[in-house]
Amino acid sequence: MHAARRPPRALVDFLSEDGRPPLRLAFEGCREVLRADTLAEVRTVLQAAERHAAAGAWCVGFVRYEAAPAFDAAFEVHPADGPLVWFGVFDSAAPWPDAPAAGAWSTGPWQSELARAAFDARIARIHQAIRGGETYQINLTEPLSSGFQGEAEAWFRALQREQPQGYAAFIDTGEEQLLSVSPELFFDWDGERIRSRPMKGTAPRGDDALSDARQAAALLASEKERAENLMIVDLIRNDLSRIARPHSVKVEQLFQARAWPTVWQMTSDVLARTREGTGLVDVFEALFPCGSVTGVPKVRATGLIRSLETAPRGVYCGAAGVLRPGGGAIFNVPIRTVQLRDGRAVCGIGSGITIDARPEGEWDEWRNKRRFLEAAAAPFTLIETLRLEGGVFIHGDAHLARLQASAAHFGFGWDGARVRQALDGLLAGHAEGAWRVRLLLDAAGQPKAEAFAFAPTATPVRIRLATRPMETVHPDFLRHKTSRRAHYSRFEPTEPGIFDTLLHNTDGEVTEFTRGNLAALTPDGDWITPPLSAGLLPGVGRGRWLAEGRIREARLTVDALPQMRALAFVNSLRGWLPAELVD
C-alpha cells in the first residue's frame, strides 16, 4: 500500500463484445491498492489483481508501456516515470453518472520538443532499418505537454464527447490521473474467448457526407494502409497463438473503417479460445505491449523505439482496463490518452511507419490525431437557424437532417421527436408573420428553440472583402454549424451600412460570408458557388439551389472576383440577396 493524496476512484465506459452490455460504471471506496514499482513486482501484482477479481471484486487500473521487460527481458524501454502497474480494488460498482462533472478546467498551449527536421530524420532512420531487414514497421510516437488547471474529471468528460463510443477510462490514483478516451480495444477476455482489435490506418473525415464516404472508401482501398493493418493482424495472430487452443485463432472483420469525430480508423478483429489454465499474466506475456503500438517484429521494434524516442511513454501505449468479478478482463490500448500529474498534462501522438510512409503525410496524420485535444478545449453546441413564416418552418426537414448529421459526427445525443417537439413548442405564439428561429442542441442531446423578430432585408446588400485570409481552422467547425464561431466573429463587420464580410482562405480562394454562402455570376453567365473543399459551411439554401441547378460549384479566387458580373448572399433564412462589393 502507498499513501495517496486523494481516495482512488475511477470511471469506465467500455464497449463490450459478443452481445454483452457495455461497461458504464463508477468506482468509489477503494479498499486496497495493488502497485508494482519494479519489474520484479509486475507479475505478482497482476496475479494479486486476478485473485481479487476471482473472489468477487472489481479491479480497475493500468499497466505502463515500460512494464514490457517483465514479460520478455528482450524488450527495450526507457526508465518508467511512475508505477509500472496500478490497480484499485473495489467491492462494488455504481452506475455511470449521467450528470456532467462539475468544475472548470483549462490547458495551456500544447508543446512538442520534436521539430519537423528531427521528425523527418527519425522517419529516414526507420526507412533505413526497414531496407536493412531489421524491421517491417515501427510505431513512432512523441509526447505533447501542457500545463493544466481545474477539475480532471470535467476535462475527461469533455474529451470523451470528442471521442465517443470507445474504451474510455478515468482513473485517479490519488497521485496522478489517467484520462483515456481510446478507440482501440487491446483485448476482451471472458476466461475462455479472447478478442483483440488492432487499429492501424488513418484518414481525416470529409467535408460533407459524400466526401466523408469517399475518405472512408479511400482508406479501405489504400494498399499502404491495408498492408500496415495486415502486418499488425498477423503479429496479433501469432501472439494469440501462444495462449490459444489449436486451430482456434481466427480473423473476423478484416479491414473495417470506423468513424470518429476527427478521423477514420481501420480496424480488424482477431479472436481465439485460450487454453485451459491460462491466467492474466499469460495473456499479458503473450500480447503486451500491443503490436499496434510497437511494430514488426516486436522485440526489434521496441529497441528502435528506445533509440528514436527520448522519453518514456508511460500509460500511453500500455494498457488500461477492468478485471470483472468472477474472472475475465477487458483492456484498451491507451491512445488518445492524457496523463496528469502535479499540474502537468502529457499526451502521446504517433503513427505506424512503413517503407511507403512519407514525412509530410505522417506529419499531417499526427496533426489530425491531436485534434481531439483542441476540440475538447471549449464545449460547444450545434446550431440551426431557420425561418418560421406563416406557421411553417422553411426548409425545416433539410435543417433537421443537417443537425442530425452533425450530431452523429460529433457523437451528440439525438432524439428526433424531442427536437421536433422543441420547434413545435414555438408555433402557438408565432403562428403569424416571419420569425428567425435559433435551434440549439447540446452534447447530451437536449434541444432548445428560440424565436426572434425578423424583418425583410433591403437589397442590394453592401459587402466588403476581408482584409486578410481566415487562419487555419479545425475543419469540423467550418463544415458544421456550432457555437464555436470565434473564427467568424473576428471578421464580422463593424462599419455602418456593411451587411457582411466576404472571406477567403490562405490559398487565395474565396469561401463564404460570416453568416451565409456566396453565389457569383461568371463572365460566361453561370452562377457558381465555392466548393466545400475551400473551407465553408454547406448551407441549406446553398444545397437547395445546387440541387435545382441554379448554381454549380467552382473554385473562385480573390484575383478573379472583380471579373464576376454579379454577386449574391444566399442562405435559407434570408434567401437570395443581390450583393454589392464595396471597395
CA angle 241, 283, 239 (to 5 degrees): 30
Cis peptide before 297 (omega within 30 of 0): yes
237 and 91, same structural domain? yes
The answer as to whether 298 is a domain residue is: yes
Is residue 215 domain-shared with residue 177, that is, in the same domain? yes
d(CA 411, CA 173): 29
CA distances from 279 to 43, 315, 384 (A): 11, 22, 53
- Of the chain, the end-to-end C-alpha distance in Å amounts to 73
* One-letter-per-residue 3-state SS of 466-527: CCCCCCCCCCHHHHCCECCCHHHHCCCCCCCCCCEEEEECCCCEEEEECCCEEEEECCCCCE
* Domain end among 453, 488, 506: 453
pLDDT of residue 2: 46
Number of structural domains, the chain? 3
- CB contact set of 63 (below 8 Å; sequence gap of 6+): 42, 46, 84, 85, 284, 288, 315, 318, 319, 320, 331
Cα–Cα distances in angstroms (integers) from residue 105 to residues 151, 155, 344, in the given order:
5, 6, 13
Q: Give backbone dihedrals phi and psi of 464, rounded to 5 degrees, phi first.
A: -125, 150
The Cβ of residue 511 has, within 10 Å, a number of other Cβ atoms equal to 23
Q: Are residues 466 and 345 in the same domain?
A: no
The answer on 356 and 263 residing in a single domain is yes
Active site residue 184: yes
Whether 183 and 76 map to the same domain: the answer is: yes
The verdict on 28 and 168 lying in the same domain is: yes
Residue in the block written with cell 488518445: 336
Residues 556 and 529 in one domain: yes
234: burial class by Cβ within 10 Å (0-12, 13-18, 19+)? Answer: middle
| In a domain? residue 561 | yes
Let me know whether 290 and 159 are in one domain. Answer: yes
Distance from the Cα of residue 273 to its chain's centroid = 32
Q: Show which of 313, 343, 376 is a domain's final residue.
A: 376
Angle ∠(219,222,227) on CA atoms, nearest 5: 110
CATH number where 140 lies: 3.60.120.10
In the annotation, is 200 catalytic?
Answer: yes
Q: Quickly count: other Cβ atoms within 10 Å of residue 546's Cβ.
A: 16
Residue 517: which domain range?
A: 461-581
pLDDT tens readout for residues 54-107: 999 999 999 999 999 999 999 999 999 999 999 999 999 999 887 766 677 888
Q: Do 101 and 78 lie in a common domain?
A: yes
Q: What is the pLDDT of residue 4?
A: 47
* The residue type at 515: R
Question: 436 near 496, Cβ under 8 Å?
Answer: no
What pLDDT is stored for residue 202 in this prediction?
81
- The count of C-alpha atoms lying within 13 angstroms of the C-alpha of 188, restricted to the half-sphere facing its C-beta, is 19
4 inside domain:
no
Rounded Cα–Cα distance for residues 305 and 310 (Å): 9
H/E stretch holding 220: helix 209-221
What one-character-per-residue DSSP string does 63-80 give?
Answer: E-GGGGGGT-TT---PPP
Q: What is the DSSP string of 325-386?
A: TTS-EEEE---SEEEEETTEEEEEEEEEE-TT--HHHHHHHHHHHTHHHHHHTS---EEEEE
Residue 422 is part of a domain; what is its CATH number?
3.30.470.10
In a domain, 3, yes or no: no
Burial class (CB in 10 A: 0-12, 13-18, 19+), 17: middle
pLDDT of residue 253: 82
Residues 390 and 359 in one domain: no
- Full pLDDT tens readout for the chain, 583 residues: 444 478 999 999 998 776 678 899 999 999 999 999 999 999 999 999 999 999 999 999 999 999 999 999 999 999 999 999 999 999 999 998 877 666 778 888 899 999 999 999 999 999 999 999 999 999 999 999 999 999 999 899 888 877 767 899 999 999 999 999 998 999 999 999 999 998 888 887 776 667 788 888 999 998 888 888 888 899 999 999 999 999 999 998 888 888 776 678 888 999 999 999 999 999 999 999 999 999 999 999 999 999 999 999 999 999 999 999 998 999 999 999 999 999 999 999 999 898 988 999 899 888 878 878 877 776 689 999 999 999 999 999 999 999 999 888 776 889 999 999 999 999 989 999 999 999 999 877 899 999 999 988 999 999 999 999 987 676 778 889 999 888 899 999 999 999 999 999 999 999 999 999 999 999 999 999 999 989 999 999 999 999 999 999 999 999 999 999 999 999 999 999 999 999 8
Q: For residues 68 and 291, give the distance between their C-alpha atoms in angstroms, rounded to a whole number.
A: 12
Residue 553 lies in a domain: yes
Catalytic residue among 184, 228, 365, 384: 184
- Considering 176, 200, 362, 365, which one is annotated as catalytic? 200
- 94 beta partners: 26
CATH of the domain at 515: 3.20.10.10
Same domain flag for 444 and 466:
no
Answer with the one of 423, 453, 483 that is the final residue of a domain: 453
pLDDT of residue 477: 83
Which among 223, 220, 216 is positioned nearest to 259, based on CA atoms? 216
3-state secondary structure 134-179: CCCEEEEEEEEEEEEEECHHHHHHHHHHHCCCCEEEEEECCCCEEE
Residues 369, 269 share a domain: yes
Torsion angle of C-alpha atoms 526, 529, 534, 536, degrees rounded to 10: 180
